[in-house]
Structure 1
Amino acid sequence: MTKYLLGTVSIIALSLLAACGGTATPQKEGATAATGDYERGPHRGRMLRDGNFALEITLFEDGVEPEFRVYAYRDDKPVKPNEVKLSVQLVRLGGKVDTFAFAPQEDYLRSNGIITEPHSFDVRVQASEGGRNHKWTYPSYEGRTTITPEAAKAGGVKIETAGAATVSEFIDMGGRVEVTPEGRAEVRARLPGLIVSLNGKIGDQVRRGQLLARVESSHSLQVYSITAPISGTIVEKNVNVGDTTGDRALFAIADATDLHAEFFVYPRDAERVRVGQPVSLKNLSGDGTIESVVEAVVPTADVASQTVLAHVHLPRIAARTFRPGMAVEGSFAVAEANVPLAVRTKAIQRFRDFEVVFAKVGNTYEVRMLEIGRRTPEWTEVLGGLEAGTQYVTDGAFLIRADIDKAGASHDH
């Protein structure tokens, strides 16, 4: 689990959210919570008092994993730590309980475990000294708020359950949309001769078999017809009536719906790009995206650039937003792994120095600090900080964050 390091003694002194009913002070078990700030001790920790006995609870993070350090007082004078027996329970959102025993060290009692993030819990303290027992409870929350179902729905909050997912590794490349070789044809005369008529100009739509030209053969003086070999658009016209045919093409026809994207793959990535890999494509204007696959990788490399050419198929529907010659961006899924725990990448937010998601328990939402592994535009692997099966916010997290910020539920050290 990642940790939050500070250069000073830190205090478990977190404010109860306004949405949860105001700020609470420490109290003896069974007492009514009062509002207002709490008393701080000589080490800037939270003071818990019962008669002439008191404890000062601090959370220490200076160069170590977060731990409790507790100082004891009688009549406001230090008590030797070996004269006090102490235990602390932290009741977290969802009911999980962390229990800590303490051992004397120098002039304080030190907890026997790490206080994991988030530092948000209801605290139960039990102490015994001089034949007397003492108990306190108090809330110590951060990154937590409560929102009604109606408000969450109105704010567009959507929830998913954290679990296993397939996480792909992507390589991003730039490319260009081109008509496929099968979608382009050059119209040539079968025999040399004089062009006596032409039917078509640049931009005309033609059908396969449609008459395009009539040529008088130089050998037989017979006139023969030339028709369109494919359906498409005339994109080149290289002759006029009265010209002789020669070796040049009369017309070029392209089917603008028979497309693929061409990508020049650099040597560092060439061995990882394979036929059949999924590719997510988008045009540079951002108004068109499509999912496709690698249809071919040309095995020979360009001598100058040492790149190889990868072709990505574009279905006919793509012609609505992708045109020949248009620049395009592609994300190639070159590898994938099944991970036991992942969250939607869009769900991840910043909170203090952490990347977090907001967990949901009932109508309460709370930060979960994540230890992150592989990340893709869709999924992010979670290595720690979140349990499988946790419900978390995927959409509308800004509402949760705004409510937490409004309540001032910050890490009070």
Structure 2
Amino acid sequence: MKTNWKIGAAVAVFLLVPMAACSTDVPNEAVEGEAAEEEKGPHRGKMLRDGDFAVEMTVFEDGVPPEFRVYPTRDGKPIDPKTVKLTVTLKRLDGEIEKFAFKAEKDVLVGQGVVVEPHSFDYEVVAVENGKRHVWKYSSPEGQTKINASAAKDGGIVIETVGPQTISETREVEGVVQLNTTARSEVRAQFPGKVMQVTKAVGDYVKKGQLLARIESSESLQIYPVYSPVSGVVAERNANVGNVAYDQPIYVITDPSSTSVVFNIFPRDLGTIRPGQKVIIETLDGKIVAESTLGGYLPEGNAAAGTALVRANLPNRDGRWRPGIALHGKVMVSAVTVPLAVRTEALQPFRDFTVVYANFGEMYEARMLELGRKSSEWTEVLSGIKPGTKYAAKGSFLIRQDIEKSGASHDH
């Protein structure tokens, strides 16, 4: 329930099914009457009539939590509210039943309790006056719509349950893919000599134990083979047939799957971002690549940018992430478990509230929320929805559009 109340007397405007009214001279005995057309009273409330007796139903929100205020009349003239005993019973879509008693104050009957949002109910209004019992039953849906299962599926609506979640505070960082220091192998000749054969070019993939070259030893004049000590990709080839191999590497072989992201950490975050924290690695357009853990800060920083550098391992089995590619990171600097949370993407505006849409089979109805801590994935709920309630976690915009299109929200 929202805690700041809108200024001005707000009146419940009801989207109705036909209303049944009944009365009898014998208390507590109901007789069906004729359906009545919707009518507004002088306080902009809904008029409920039975013969010459009527009550005007309003919801008042001027500086107070929403409360019922009901004005009794006979032949269109106000009567003493102390002569009327009134009860209102509300049934919500989830089956919850609320019953309100009323107290006479000047010319009005005031409901003893808060009318919690959403103001969407099946009503039963019972008034006893001068020994006569008057009963009205009607529906007042608000922020509500029906979407069948196949349409919900086609629209991408996904249902989840409100419950406890861990909400993480994050810091965003930018980084670049680099090969790990262990990903580079230099292959040298065992003995100095003339290069008689080379078998691989830059960019070729080689397996451990594969032939790379043949060298004629300068001392023995015997030709010996040079094999690859690792599997990987040829990054450099520094010899051709006829060259003399000495102490320089003939080949440099790298393992493209052995990569990490080196992130830039600005001075303002040095006290917050620490080794061992989880980091979600993403592309620059927000697609998740991997989840990793920050290693220690590197001995040298980025002097040009004025940042410290920290490394996080990047799983790269298919070699997709090449050195030099820019990636984005979200570092989880703290985490707290809250008793109730909903997915942040489920939140939608509704009048001056933020809501999610509770789900009851094919029915969806707004739930006005008071919110707490928030991350890109989860938002804490302080009040407004019950634990265990099913709601539209994804596709809620479709429901909002359907409600707005059908006019299933009324002014308040």
Q: Which band: TM-score by shorter chain?
A: 0.7 to 0.9
Structure 1 residue 291 corresponds to structure 2 residue 290: yes
- Tell me what 2:88 maps to: 88
The answer to which of 249-258 and 136-145 deviates more is 249-258
Alignment-mate amino acid for residue 92 of structure 1:
R
- Structure 1 CA distance for aligned equivalents of residues 199 and 308 of structure 2: 40
- Tell me what 2:408 maps to: 409
1:271-318 deviation per Cα after TM superposition (whole angstroms, max 9, x unaligned): 4434444332222366x633322151226573845633232222243x
- Structure 2 CA distance for aligned equivalents of residues 166 and 99 of structure 1: 37
- Structure 1 CA distance for aligned equivalents of residues 14 and 101 of structure 2: 22
- Structure 1 CA distance for aligned equivalents of residues 188 and 240 of structure 2: 13
- Tell me what 1:326 maps to: 325
Matches within 5 A, 1:10-409: 10-16=10-16, 23-25=17-19, 27-28=21-22, 31=32, 34=35, 38-149=38-149, 151-153=151-153, 155-187=155-187, 199-208=199-208, 212=212, 228-237=228-237, 251-284=251-284, 289-298=288-297, 300=299, 302=301, 304=303, 307-317=307-317, 319=318, 321-409=320-408
Gaps of 5+ in 2: 23-29
The answer to which of 40-49 and 188-197 deviates more is 188-197
SS in 2 for 1:355: strand
State TM-score, norm by structure 2.
0.82
The answer to which of 249-258 and 186-195 deviates more is 186-195
The answer to which of 352-361 and 382-391 deviates more is 352-361
1:80-133 deviation per Cα after TM superposition (whole angstroms, max 9, x unaligned): 444433332221112212222333334433223221111101122233344443
- Structure 1 CA distance for aligned equivalents of residues 405 and 4 of structure 2: 22
- Structure 1 CA distance for aligned equivalents of residues 391 and 206 of structure 2: 55
- Structure 2 CA distance for aligned equivalents of residues 204 and 136 of structure 1: 84
SS in 2 for 1:400: helix
- Structure 2 CA distance for aligned equivalents of residues 235 and 271 of structure 1: 39
The answer to whether the Cα contact below 8 Å between 1:347 and 1:395 also exists between their aligned partners in 2 is yes
- Structure 1 CA distance for aligned equivalents of residues 166 and 85 of structure 2: 49
State TM-score, norm by structure 1.
0.82
Gaps of 5+ in 1: 17-22
SS in 2 for 1:40: coil
- Structure 2 CA distance for aligned equivalents of residues 32 and 342 of structure 1: 47
CA deviation after TM superposition for structure 1 residue 188, in Å: 5.8
- Structure 1 CA distance for aligned equivalents of residues 230 and 355 of structure 2: 56
SS in 1 for 2:403: helix
Residues 255/84 of structure 1: CA separation in 2 closer, same or farther (3 Å cut): same
- Structure 2 CA distance for aligned equivalents of residues 268 and 31 of structure 1: 73
- Structure 2 CA distance for aligned equivalents of residues 285 and 148 of structure 1: 34
The answer to whether the Cα contact below 8 Å between 2:278 and 2:294 also exists between their aligned partners in 1 is no
The number of residue pairs the alignment matches comes to 404
Q: Structure 1 vs Structure 2: percent identity of aligned residues?
A: 46
- Structure 2 CA distance for aligned equivalents of residues 175 and 308 of structure 1: 11
RMSD, matched Cα: 3.6
The answer to whether the Cα contact below 8 Å between 1:53 and 1:75 also exists between their aligned partners in 2 is yes
